[in-house]
Amino acid sequence: MQIDLTGKIALITGGGSGIGRACAHTLAAAGAFVVAVDINEAGAQQTISQIGAGLAVACDLADPAAVTALRDRVLAETGGVDILVNCAGLISYRKGINAVSVDEWDLLLDVNLRGTFLVCQAFIDSMKERRDGSIVTFSSLAARVGGIEVGIHYAASKAALIGLTRTLAKEGGPYGITVNAVAPGVILTDPVKQQVGDHEDAYTATIPLQRLGQPQDVANVVLFLASPLSSYITGVVLDINGGMYMG
């Protein structure tokens, strides 16, 4: 079966780089009209110019007023959203609870957790009106097994997103809206490449599939969760980690 998202509007936060950009390309290739949202406006614009169509919107998800402005603009320009991919996030490597300041905790939780809450809140009513839709949130391996290299604030934000996802799945279900989380393992995007450095072999040794992940590995799963192929799946956390954790 061919996945055809023609006529669907897909809003992707964090669409200006890494996994979000791969999701933008993949959903666009399946026919969706993509709205790439990012605090990095140039990155979002680059994604849309690479695709050749779509809408790039600058937005700082840590700012509730900016998310309201995002909602108003996107609803005015597109009429509504069918697919919501909450990929934007800050990744932070910190060793030990004492290495995380209150300011760092607040900023990371504001972007990763509250930002996802605000974006879902902004678009859920228009999705309910359509009585159809898919929401994908971004958890992490860190939420499944506890952060080791990533900070405690990062792991906490990603674990909390699982509760958000399941609660929203219960609310969206009667409206035909599925809400699922992906939990990537070690995926080679810019912040992760910096951390992995020349220790790739040490990571690979812990992975049954014997390679680190690529953004496309995650984008393929997001495509599935955004498509009718997954219409009876909601409230799940899909691990994408090469077997590092088998829940």
Residue from 5, 16, 24, 177 touching ligand NAD (CB under 6 A): that is 16
Considering the complex, what minimum distance in angstroms separates the CB of residue 55 from ligand NAD?
Answer: 15
- List alpha helices for 30-84, DSSP H: 41-51, 64-78
Q: Which of 45, 92, 178, 189 binds ligand NAD (CB under 6 A)?
A: 189
Backbone angles phi, psi at 20, to 5 degrees: -60, -40
- Is residue 38 within the footprint of ligand NAD (CB under 6 A)? yes
Binding test (CB under 6 A) with ligand NAD, winner from 23, 24, 83, 91: 91
> Residue 10: which H helix or E strand, with range?
strand 9-13
Tokens of 152: 């405690």
Q: What would the x/- binding string for ligand NAD be over residues 201 to 230, using CB under 6 A?
A: ------------------------------
Closer residue to ligand NAD, CB minimum distance, 172 or 213? 213
192 near ligand NAD, judged by CB under 6 A? yes
What are φ and ψ of residue 81, in 5° steps?
A: -115, 140
Within 67-188, strands assigned E span 83-86, 133-138, 177-184
In the block, which residue shows the tokens 């955004």? Answer: 226
* Catalytic residue status for 154: yes
CA distances from 207 to 43, 81, 245, 247 (A): 31, 37, 9, 14
Residues that bind ligand NAD (CB under 6 A): 13-14, 16-20, 38-40, 43, 59-62, 87-91, 111, 138, 140-141, 184, 186-187, 189-192
Active centre residues (catalytic): 154
